Amino acid sequence: MAPSRMLGLAAFLIAAAPVVATAQVAESETKAFAKVDEIFADYALDNHIPGLVYGVVADGKLVYVRGIGVQDLESKRPVTADTLFRIASMTKAFTALTILKLRDEGKLRLDAPAETYVEEMRGWKYPTQDSPRIRVRDLLNHTAGFVTDDPWGDRQTPMAEAEFSKILREGVPFTRPPATAWEYSNLGYALLGRIITNVSGHPYADTITQSLLKPLGMESSGFVVDAAPRERRALGYRWEDNGWRLEPTMAHGAFGSMGGIQTSANDYARWVAYLLSAWPPRDEANAGPVSRASVRELGQGSSFPRGFPQRVGHPGEGACPLATSYGMGFIVSVGCDFGVTMSHGGGYPGYGSHVLLIPRKGLGVFALTNRTYGGPSGAVWDAAAVLTKAELFKDRVLPISEDLARAYRAVGAIYKSGSVAASKDQLAMNFLMDRDAAGWSRDLATLKKAVGDCDTTAAISATGALAGDFKWRCAHGRVVGSVLLAPTTPASIQQIKLEIQPR
């Protein structure tokens, strides 16, 4: 792993310092970023967006940021990387990571009943006699059994804590028993905010500010919108009856934990860089406010996938479907285009936003707008597709372990000699039971007759510390193969696959 791919906290805070103008890019990148600009310009035009900002984060840096339109229709100040937008439900990831931080500190348990930390939930009537009690984990995963509450939940941000307590004491209706499916719930994340307040001993907003925002250098971000300088704020608008109408500014309250953060592109890029720095797992000391292992936990989806939809935006005919579930503050998807992704939108009165993380590339794309439910999800995913297709950001390469390197050398020796006897001492006990030595000799002879001698020193790509894939260039073709080690000490070879690459 190259050192530049492993950024500690200090490194990425420096790297993600404010960027106002577009970063200098190589000529080969210009076309791709021009296409990204076109995607967002078209999105803003087609969706009546007064103003938006979008950014690309890679390897701990805000490598590209652009503003379009105005912060507000009265002053017509242009949007910049320092313009402040409310990011709505993208706040949920901050809430989720703070819960994990409190868990790491031994102050709560994810599998404990949520009523352990919110006494008003005790005595609730559940939908069936065999319903399990709601766990903290169920709130994180949206599996508490609550009904989808957009857009009702969005208007509850300023709710007083006393009023929220009254609602909880009276009990809330369920749409299904807990832990049977995932269904998006702002109420669930409001409960997580209450848990953070009760467990930390400090108000939710203060806890988030001290635990995450300040340590990450997000000095312009916060929950009290009116406390920010007026000249930096993007006012929120609704497009209605062929015109823009100013949305009222909602104060911070009991539902702020589901969607109340206000931030800028420069600040939010620090958050994205911090999250992506958790990959890949490594021996380097933890430098951030929460351990890398806990950050990666945000991407652990619930066991209730939501079918196999295509990605948002314009994936094109025959595009790869996604397997999707909800993790902790992020929607987690797996597909053949980007691999594992973590994404989330934000829809709110006056604002819309979206973020997409591609951990295997260390790449994040986000956009913030000031139009009600103007969520730029399609534009963000289309922009990521353009950047990925242009191969501007390479996959993070797993390091080759000593065990894997030794096993790969053994595979090369086996091929050259035409016999597994050349590396018999490195074979696991199952190897010759699955295919005996004579059979291997015949197979190797057939393969050699077809392709001839091969360059067995070509690099192997690790798929883990004990497995890897490789491709050899040979006299009359190419061979693709893989080696899989057994969980023994020392590690031994349990399987080798070799075949001619199809033309």
Quick one: average pLDDT of 310-330? 87
Report the alpha-carbon distance of residue 99 to residue 89 in Å, rounded.
Answer: 16
Provide the angle, in degrees to the nearest 10, between the axes of the packed helices 402-417 and 437-451.
Answer: 80
Backbone angles phi, psi at 51, to 5 degrees: -155, 150
More confident site: 396 or 426: 426
> Which of 8-17, 91-100, 217-226, 310-319 has the least mean pLDDT?
8-17
* Residue 405 in this model has a pLDDT that exceeds 70: yes
- Residue 18 has what pLDDT? 35
Number of H helices, E strands in the chain: 14, 15
Largest CA distance in the chain: 83
Give the DSSP H or E segment for 355: strand 351-358
Task: Check: CB of residue 167 under 8 Å from CB of residue 75.
Answer: no
- Residue 41 has what pLDDT? 98
* Residue 85 in this model has a pLDDT that exceeds 50: yes
* Residue 283 in this model has a pLDDT that exceeds 50: yes
Strand-by-strand arrangement of the 477-486 sheet: 460-464, 467-474, 477-486, 492-500
Task: Check: CB of residue 456 under 8 Å from CB of residue 448.
Answer: no
Cis peptide before 490 (omega within 30 of 0): yes
Quick one: average pLDDT of 219-228? 96
Burial of 310 (0-12, 13-18, 19+ CB in 10 A): middle
> Which of 168-182, 321-335, 343-357 has the least mean pLDDT?
321-335
* Residue 73 in this model has a pLDDT that exceeds 80: yes
Residue 28: pLDDT band with limits 50, 70, 90: low
| β-strand partners of 58 | 61, 363
Summarize pLDDT for 338-385 with one digit per residue, the tens.
999 999 999 999 999 999 999 999 999 999 999 999 889 999 999 999
| β-strand partners of 70 | 78
Report the alpha-carbon distance of residue 369 to residue 318 in Å, rounded.
Answer: 31
Coil, helix or strand at residue 245: strand
Report the alpha-carbon distance of residue 287 to residue 44 in Å, rounded.
Answer: 38
- Residue 349 has what pLDDT? 96
Quick one: average pLDDT of 119-143? 97
- Residue 22 has what pLDDT? 42
* Residue 29 in this model has a pLDDT that exceeds 70: yes
Q: Write the CA distances from 497 to 194, 352, 431, 458, integer angstroms.
A: 54, 49, 12, 16
- Residue 6 has what pLDDT? 33
DSSP strands (E only) in 410-476: 460-464, 467-474
More confident site: 300 or 8: 300
- Residue 97 has what pLDDT? 98
- Residue 24 has what pLDDT? 44
Other C-beta atoms closer than 10 Å to the C-beta of 130 total 7
Amino acid (one-letter) located at 314:
H
CB burial string 437-469: b at 16+ within 10 A, e below: eeebeeebeebbeebeebebeeebebeeebbbe
Coil, helix or strand at residue 52: strand
CA torsion through residues 404, 406, 407, 412, sign = positive
Task: Check: CB of residue 450 under 8 Å from CB of residue 476.
Answer: yes
Report the alpha-carbon distance of residue 365 to residue 259 in Å, rounded.
Answer: 19
Q: How far apart are the first and last CA of the chain?
A: 32
Task: Check: CB of residue 437 under 8 Å from CB of residue 419.
Answer: yes
Report the alpha-carbon distance of residue 230 to residue 321 in Å, rounded.
Answer: 44
| β-strand partners of 65 | 55
Question: By C-alpha distance, which of 33, 81, 76, 78 is closest to 54?
Answer: 81
Q: Write the CA distances from 192 to 128, 135, 138, 346, 441, integer angstroms.
A: 24, 11, 10, 18, 62
* Residue 78 in this model has a pLDDT that exceeds 90: yes
Residue 27: pLDDT band with limits 50, 70, 90: low
| β-strand partners of 346 | 353
* Residue 307 in this model has a pLDDT that exceeds 80: no
Residue 26: pLDDT band with limits 50, 70, 90: low
